[in-house]
Structure formats: structure tokens, C-alpha cells
Amino acid sequence: MVDVTIRGAGIFGLSVAWECLARGATVRVIDPNGVGAGASGGLLGALAPHVPENWNEKKARQFDSLIAAEIFWADVESWAGIETSYARLGRVQPLQDDRAVELARKRESSAAELWQGKETWRVCDATALDGLVPNSATGLFVHDTLSARIFPRQACKALAKAISARGGQLVQSGADEGKTIWATGVHDLERMSAHFGRNVGSAVKGQGALLEFDARGAPQVFAEAVHIVPHWNGTVAIGSTSEREYDEPFSTDEKLEAVLEKALEAIPALRGARVLERWAGLRPRAKSRAPMVGRHPLEDAAFIANGGFKIGFGMASDVARMMADLVLDESDTIPAEFLPKASL
């Protein structure tokens, strides 16, 4: 018998499976398309915090999850026996005018309090930076040490291997046994929206690219609303668009080319780097814009972990913990804004 059946082998499904296994449950993950076949198979992997101001439960939970990620992924790597691609290397953001500098300095003070001294957010000049340094009109930058990077496909591959090593099952079909958790992303959000006759959540298209450029060990960059993320394998990911309306969900187009050009303008050193891959996919965004975690609104006696959108990998360890608390221990540790009713 299986204690927990998880439908969906994206980052939420795999992370919840891993946490349930760690607590002694027997687990089966079912996904007809295989591991990381949806949005979790993308390229970017920017695990970056919300700005340290106007603090709320969502920002606090994301902070806790980003702090916990180092131990979470180290544990996965020890069981998987392969690289997870996770590293907390920080992030650099250029400050383009005096107003941006003023705001950044205020956030520098608030981060010292809200981040509890565990990581830093500081204003600095280029002499304090290593790696890819973007153009800055003021010559100043924000450098935070909380941001991390992960290569989504490699992370999912490592999680799957770790789950198998710990005795979990990963299959493409099977019946529900024990308690069931739905982590099927866009499909489930659209199904709920159709059932309730209103928007519960939707697919948001994202486009990104992977360049052949070795900047491993360098912080990621956020410039001109574009993420530039050096990965462990000598590549740099660029992204992404955020499209509510689209004709071709899995095709790249001129919107990606515009994002690429912004990245090259921000960091001219990337010009001439070979584009290894262009990627497009659909990310699940709940109406509340927070992860959707709790009892499933449609499936009787089942549970849901959905709505990762842009922060799925960053929130993975905390979503896994909350779901295991609820499913295995019947302990509700889920913030109100994360519950499905926040989007219904």
C-alpha cells in the first residue's frame, strides 16, 4: 500500500514527495509526461526574494524557504548522487537614477531588520562585485546575498533520483492510493476555473533562452526587468517574458528576441555568445498570486499544491513542509493567503 499518491512530477509534486518520504511515508508520484515536463522543465532558475519592505506572510514564508533551500538541496544531492545545480550566489541589480539609489538605501536598512542578519542587501559600486557586472547609469548597484540559482531540469532530475533512492515510486500511470495530492499545474487551475465559472488561476506564457557563456560562480543579474542567471554547467539563462495572451504557447517569437537584446545591452560581454536553446512554456499562476496549498476544492478528500508561477523553486521546501504537515500530521500550518479559497 502507498500512503501518499502525488499527481504531477513538477517541482511542487517532487518536493512534496521528498518531504513525505523523509517523514517515513510510502510515496508514489504519477505523471504521464514524466519528470519536469511542464513549467518545471524551463531554463531560468532565479531564486530571488521579494524586496525587503511592506512585509507580509507571503514574503516571510518565501524568505524562510530561501534560507532553508541550502539544506534542502544538499540533502537531495546526498541521496541522488548527482549535482542539483543549486547555489546561493546572490544577485546584482544596477541602479539607473538617483531615485532608485534613494529607494535602495531605504531597503538596505529594512533588510537588516527583516532578514534578521542572515543575509544582506546593500548598495555598492562595481569594485565590490565579481562576475557579470551590468551597465549602471549611477555606477551603483544593489547586491543581495540571499538570491540563489538552480537549473530547473537538473534539479528535477536530482529530486527524482533522490526519491527513487529513498524508496519512492515515479510512474506514468496508476491508481490513487492513500492520500492524494494534486500538483498538476496549469491543467488543474483551468479545470477549477471551468468548474466555478470564474478565474481561479491561469496559464502565463514565459519565454527564455540559454547561452553558451561560462560565468559559473557569478551572481545572477536583474537588469531592465530581465533575469540573467549563470548556471553551474557553463551556460547563462536569460528570461523571461510574462504573457497573458498568446497564440502559440510553446513557440518562441520576437518577444524573446527583445528580452535577449535587453540582456545584451545590460551586459555587453554576452554579445557573441551562442544561443544553445530557446524555450517557451506555460506557468501556473493562481488568482491570489500566491502558491495554492491545502484541501482540493474539487477532489473529495484530496489536497492541492499549485500556483508556483515565478517562485515555485524558491518556495519548494516550504510548500513541501506545509503539505506534509497537513497530509501526514493533520496539522494546518498554511497561511490564509495560500489556501485555495484565496483564489476562489
Q: Return the axis-axis angle of helices 312-329 and 11-22, rounded to nearest 10°.
A: 40
Model pTM score: 0.97
Edge-to-edge strand ranges of the sheet holding 27-30: 169-171, 27-30, 4-7, 179-182, 303-306, 292-295
| DSSP state for residue 219 in the 8-state scheme | P
Segments of 96-200 assigned E as strands: 121-125, 140-144, 148-149, 169-171, 179-182
**Angle 199-200-205 from CA coordinates, rounded to 5°:** 80
- Residue 184's pLDDT is 98
What is d(CA 318, CA 273) in angstroms, rounded to the nearest whole number?
36
Grid coordinates of 139: 555606477
- Residue 19's pLDDT is 98
Domains identified in the chain and CATH numbers: 4-86+147-200+287-342 (3.50.50.60), 203-284 (3.30.9.10)
Average pLDDT along the chain, 344 residues, taken 10 residues at a time: 97 98 98 96 96 92 96 98 98 98 96 95 96 96 98 98 98 97 97 97 98 97 97 97 96 98 97 98 96 96 96 96 97 96 96
- Residue 211's pLDDT is 98
What is d(CA 311, CA 276) in angstroms, rounded to the nearest whole number?
25
- Residue 1's pLDDT is 87
What is d(CA 234, CA 257) in angstroms, rounded to the nearest whole number?
21
